[in-house]
Amino acid sequence: MPPVIEQNPRKALLLATAAWTQLHGLTQAYQAAVMRGDQRGAEAIRQQAHALLDSNLDLNAEAATITRAMLGG
């Protein structure tokens, strides 16, 4: 995901929260795929979940970096 860079951490935090919410939903889909024995589907969902977690971490780091700059750190 490209940087949000707006010198406002709220946008990054909003997007991070959206990624976290979507990740939670994927967790349910992953469990259902495993219960059905759908290994391919479960693996595809797992890859999506990893990408969302990476996005969430990147966006939280971006928000923290902007906040630090705003506080003069």
Q: Give the tens place of pLDDT for each residue, 13-53.
A: 999 999 999 999 999 999 999 999 999 999 999 999 999 99
1 occurs within a structural domain: no
Q: pLDDT at position 6, please?
A: 62
- Widest Cα–Cα separation across the chain: 53
Please name the residue that has the structure tokens 């997007």: 15
For residue 49, what are the domain limits?
9-67
What is the reported pLDDT for 72? 87
- Please give the Cα distance from 42 to 9 (Å, whole number): 34
Q: What is the pLDDT of residue 3?
A: 55
CB 22 within 8 Å of CB 55: no
Res 53: pLDDT = 94
| C-alpha torsion sign, points 58, 60, 61, 65 | positive
Q: In the chain, how many domains are there? A: 1
- The answer to whether residue 16 is domain-embedded is yes
Q: For the whole model, what pTM was predicted?
A: 0.77
Tell whether 47 is covered by a domain.
yes
Helices (H), 1-73: 9-36, 39-70
What is the rounded average pLDDT of the residues 59-71?
Answer: 91
**Residue written as token pair 């290994």:** 39
